Structure 1
Amino acid sequence: MSHADLRELHGALHTAYDIAFALDATAVSAQESEQLVDALQRALAAARALGGGAGTTGCARHPKGAVDPLYGDKEDPLPPGWGRCLLCNDARRRANAQRRGGR
């Protein structure tokens, strides 16, 4: 858990609270509804980030890093032992290219 994640959670919850209690039950605009949904989604993402764990990449070194866009692509499957982390997979691709004499 980081302090930034906790601050993001607090901020998003305060924003959602402010929007929700400023709503007029008889006339909620689409814009107000979207703002509330956005604040709640930010709060949910921040709450999930507090849990730490494996993150979206499943990588111990880069748990919140970018997910490899080639992950799970049927045309270009990842080699055995590779994960979803773009940073690690990119490093593996570069190392493999150097071993084969590429750039």
Structure 2
Amino acid sequence: MSYADLRDLRAALSTAQDIAFGLDPAALSASQTEELVDALRRALHSATALRGEHGATGCPHHPRGAVDPLYGDAEDPLPPGYGKCLLCNDRRRRAGTQHRGRR
């Protein structure tokens, strides 16, 4: 996480809050709503940047991919070299199955 990302998030949230509190429900226009939505999108983008470049999976190839449901399972831990990325772990599992079948 960088200070710039956190500063951007705070600024976007402050802007969204200012817009939201300045809205008049009786005279709400499409342009005001779009302005609020734009500020909220900037806040979401800034918050997402705080996760880092590898996202929830920690995978450089699939940063926004699915997290392996078996990751962290104490009863059946993953083999060494496996991570949180379901796509990479599935590829490793399939490669291991094919390799065992050739013997």
Letter of the 1:88 partner, please give it. Answer: C
Please list the CA deviations of residues 25-46 of structure 1 after superposition, one character each: whole Å capped at 9, or x if unmatched. xxxxxxxxxxxxxx96x76542
- 1:74 is aligned to 74
Q: TM-score, normalised by structure 1?
A: 0.54
Number of residue pairs matched by the alignment: 78
> Structure 2: which 5+ residue stretches go unaligned?
1-8, 26-38
Give RMSD over aligned pairs. 3.5
How much does 1:67 deviate?
0.7
> Structure 1: which 5+ residue stretches go unaligned?
1-8, 25-38
Percent identity (aligned): 56
CA 100–20 in structure 1, closer or farther in 2 if over 3 Å, else same: farther
Greater helix share, structure number: 2
Q: TM-score, normalised by structure 2?
A: 0.54
How much does 1:15 deviate?
7.2
